[in-house]
Structure 1
Amino acid sequence: MDTAMLGRHATASLAAFALTVAVYTPATATVAGAMRGVMPFVAAHDDDPDALVPVVRDGIWLGIVTGLLGAGAVCAVPLIGLVSGVPGETLSALGPLPLLLAASVLVAAVGNSATSTLVGLGRSKLVMRAGTTGTAAAVLLSLTLVNGVGPFDGLGLPGAGVAMLVSSLISAVVAHWGLRRSTILAGHPLTLGRPHPRAVLELAGVGVPLAATVLIKFAVLGVLAIAAARVGTVSAAAHSIAVSLVSLMFTAAVAIGQATIPLMAPYLKAKDVRGLRAAVRAGAKTALGAVVLLGCVLAVLRGPVLSLFTHDPAARHQVLALIPLMLLVVVTDALQAVFGFGLIAIRNTVPSLIAFAVCYGLLAMAAVPLTALGGLTALWLALFGANVLLVVGQVGFFHQRSGRLAAPEAALGRT
């Protein structure tokens, strides 16, 4: 919505927004990745509010720390743009936007501490309520603040920043309100208090590798975008559309993966390895069903869907040719993600980081030469190959690390 509104406002404003969002998006995704590390600790105490309260407080402190780091990166957008050779016209159009979005990152991080807790408690409806409320506010504010309405002329680019900040604030408030009023924590004081460094570091030990994994994925996707752009403008546009569609379908797999964490908690407490693995397999089947269904919808409605993105027949033709590969990519990505969430549930996320570093590292090195040889088809084949390797790595690591959780008596019985 902001992109569409700013595109009608001024080209320089849209360019400045794109520059800031190029840092803002990975910053918020990295913070959200770090906060996922709170989920298994919450799920372990889903029936004990007294033990859960300090976990929630420490999770908020982790959100503040990671949020400040992300906010610092967004504040540095003018400097990043200057060093990168961004035109002065774009830099002068930035205005207060980096500061507004930096504040949005910090607010979103505090909000993520609540949503991660709600997911860990299996209260996803409250998360949806917070998200839809914030999104509705963002749409309404973007429509009114960017280009104005009636006698109000609008704020232009700062209006987009205000809309995003207020949206994050509303989502965070609704999520924390739901956490305090509609869960087992109702009636328990959740004042921040002083941080407990050892407990915060324990949460970070699970969350920080996830944040690093997100950074690796974003960085390599950036390399793929550059490789596609080297082929030509049409290829760059087609690749961008394909990535957007795949990312949208992949969201379903992420949601399902997160939902498996509280379902695995009872098996983890009982050290029931068979139950843990069955829960992850159920999540994998559900995620596969979701992305296959969405893929079928895309295949059937490919014409109307692509018309929302472009009217360029050449770009549409390239995206149509990529659809089979796109479906393979999203299916393999969904599988690796669910087993990655299995590793989150058992609080062992370093293997995922290793798998991504190796598989996506190889992809980054091969992207440009492969694209030069075979265009977008070769690029997406390489992405599919990297995801296949990720599936093998994530499944292997999960089975290895979950096997170590077996109760001693069970292990003795097998011997």
Structure 2
Amino acid sequence: MTRRPEDRAILRLAWPAFLALVAEPLFVLADAAIVGHLGTTQLAAAGVAGALMTTLVGLCIFLAYGTTSSVARQLGAGDTRGALAHGVDGLWLAVAIGIPVSAVAGVLAPDLVHLLGASQTVAAPATTYLRIALAGTTPLLLMLAATGVLRGLQDTRTPLVAAVGGNVLNIVLNLLLVYGLGPMDGLGLPGSALGSALAQLATAGLLVAVVARAARRHGVALAPDLGGVLAAGRAGVPLVVRTLTLRAAILLTVYAVAALPAADGGADRGLAAHQVAMAVWGFLAYALDAIAIAAQAITGRALGSGDIAATRRLTTRMLQWGVAAGVVTGLLLAASAPWLGHLFTSDRGVDDLLLPVLLVAALAQPLAGVVFVLDGVLIGAGDGRYLAYAGTLVLVVYAPLALLAPTLTWLWVAFGFGFMAARAGVLLHRAHGTRWMRTGTTLTR
């Protein structure tokens, strides 16, 4: 499989990206495991706050994706200095977004928690967790932007080092701050939020320093360029809409879980089981997304150099890799599902709800492989406008399936084989054509 030139190009970027992306969701998995043993209420609270934080930060994923595409196109055209100038603009845009978002979300935290239908026992700790975690918003956005720059420069090794180091620091800080050590008392649930925010700050500092050093080496100014920052913001609007539709589907799923009767997987135990399942799904999704990360960088560079034939050839090959990776992750999840719940909770009721959900998630993995790879290809091509329209259509299809699901397991069937199948359909339709293959360093949006 690795004999083809395109396989070597994919592996060179995908392998470090795979290791980094597997490490990144360990922020969530480690938090879930550490918090889960505090109690079911704390785990459910972390799940609600975590869903909101993921939404706030996820809406800004264009800072990574859009920057990867624009930097890779400049690199493909032979303009490294221009590529780094785009990257610096992305870093300043992250700061301009992160500070006001943190402030506003902190004020609205109780209302945001209430929107997800959390019970009174869960709402208060979820609000506290969210307000502390919001301190890490700007560092998280800087991490996204800096990672996007490095990926566009075809460097996935540096983000790997940062992700592994940040993850180790996150686990250490969470254990110390949640449970304490010696004479130092633990903070409980708030300690988990604080530990994650501090780890995110350290990781962001490392990545920004690497990008800044490269910019200075090529004579790129580090001061903010208002025109460049605004241009980066406008270019990211379609990807914001695309991400908003995805996050709306995730939040809709959380709402649907909370609305279920307790006997069918609703209430606090249902939210706790769903939190663990989504953490596992996110772990596998990031692993599959390694090929999509390679697709963003490779597609952007190929189109920047005007090589249409290579773009088509690489897309076909990466799609094959995506399906194969989905089969492997699905088999691994199915094999580990019977004991996986014990890592996150000692509540037998939560564990019983979790097992069938994990089996459904395992069956959906090959389909997820198709979705993530083609999503990466079209993002790398700068086809954000189509992704925004397609995401809206998929959300309309999925909403009634989620709201009408009678149990937690059937809700996950709707998610795995309704939501993901609809995404696969619109992406395959677009990839089959040629309208997304726009060459050069600029795009008509």
TM-score per shorter chain, which class? 0.7 to 0.9
Equivalent pair of 1:62/1:204 in contact (CA under 8 Å): no
Q: TM-score, normalised by structure 2?
A: 0.78
Look up the match of 1:212. 244
Look up the match of 2:433. 400
Bigger Cα Rg = 1
2:398 pairs with one of 360, 363, 366: 363
1:173 pairs with one of 196, 199, 205: 205
Look up the match of 1:41. 70
| Corresponding position: 1:279 with 2:314 | yes
Look up the match of 2:153. 121
CA offsets 1:279-325 (integer angstroms, 9 cap, x no match): 22222222222221122222333333344345677766665555664
Count of residue pairs brought into register by the alignment: 404
62-71 vs 257-266, greater mean Cα deviation: 62-71
Task: Note closer, same or farther for the CA distance 1:112–1:229 as it changes in structure 2 (3 Å cut).
Answer: farther
Distance 1:94 1:379 in 2: 24
Task: Note closer, same or farther for the CA distance 1:93–1:150 as it changes in structure 2 (3 Å cut).
Answer: same
Gaps of 5+ in 1: 408-415
Equivalent pair of 1:27/1:74 in contact (CA under 8 Å): no
Equivalent pair of 1:217/1:360 in contact (CA under 8 Å): yes
CA offsets 1:81-134 (integer angstroms, 9 cap, x no match): 478886777666679754432220112112211011111112111111111111
Kindly report which structure 2 residues correspond to 1:313-332, keeping only aligned pairs within 5 A, or say none: 320-321=355-356, 325-332=360-367
Kindly provide the amino acid, as one letter, of the partner of residue 53 in structure 1.
Answer: L
1:66 pairs with one of 97, 107, 117: 97
Give how far 1:337 is off: 2.0
2:222 pairs with one of 185, 188, 191: 191
Give how far 1:344 is off: 0.9
Equivalent pair of 1:37/1:203 in contact (CA under 8 Å): yes
| Corresponding position: 1:110 with 2:142 | yes
Gaps of 5+ in 2: 1-29, 441-445
Look up the match of 1:25. 54
Kindly provide the amino acid, as one letter, of the partner of residue 59 in structure 1.
Answer: G
Distance 1:163 1:224 in 2: 30
Kindly report which structure 2 residues correspond to 1:220-259, keeping only aligned pairs within 5 A, or say none: 220-226=252-258, 231-233=264-266, 239-259=274-294
CA offsets 1:218-244 (integer angstroms, 9 cap, x no match): 233324434656623576665554444
Give how far 1:65 is off: 3.3
CA offsets 1:133-186 (integer angstroms, 9 cap, x no match): 1111111111112222111123444433331221111111111223344x5864
Look up the match of 2:5. none
Equivalent pair of 1:49/1:185 in contact (CA under 8 Å): no
Give how far 1:80 is off: 3.4
| Corresponding position: 1:345 with 2:380 | yes
Kindly provide the amino acid, as one letter, of the partner of residue 126 in structure 1.
Answer: T
Task: Note closer, same or farther for the CA distance 1:261–1:318 as it changes in structure 2 (3 Å cut).
Answer: same
Give how far 1:63 is off: 1.4
2:165 pairs with one of 111, 129, 133: 133
- The RMSD of aligned alpha carbons is 3.5
Kindly provide the amino acid, as one letter, of the partner of residue 171 in structure 1.
Answer: T
SS in structure 1 at match of 2:226: coil
Distance 1:67 1:307 in 2: 36
Equivalent pair of 1:131/1:171 in contact (CA under 8 Å): yes
Distance 2:409 2:128 in 1: 38
Kindly provide the amino acid, as one letter, of the partner of residue 380 in structure 1.
Answer: V
Higher RCO (Cα < 8 Å, 6 or more apart):
2
Kindly provide the amino acid, as one letter, of the partner of residue 36 in structure 1.
Answer: Y
Give how far 1:358 is off: 1.6
Equivalent pair of 1:133/1:170 in contact (CA under 8 Å): no
Task: Note closer, same or farther for the CA distance 1:165–1:402 as it changes in structure 2 (3 Å cut).
Answer: same
260-269 vs 93-102, greater mean Cα deviation: 93-102
Q: Percent identity?
A: 20
Kindly provide the amino acid, as one letter, of the partner of residue 179 in structure 2.
Answer: N
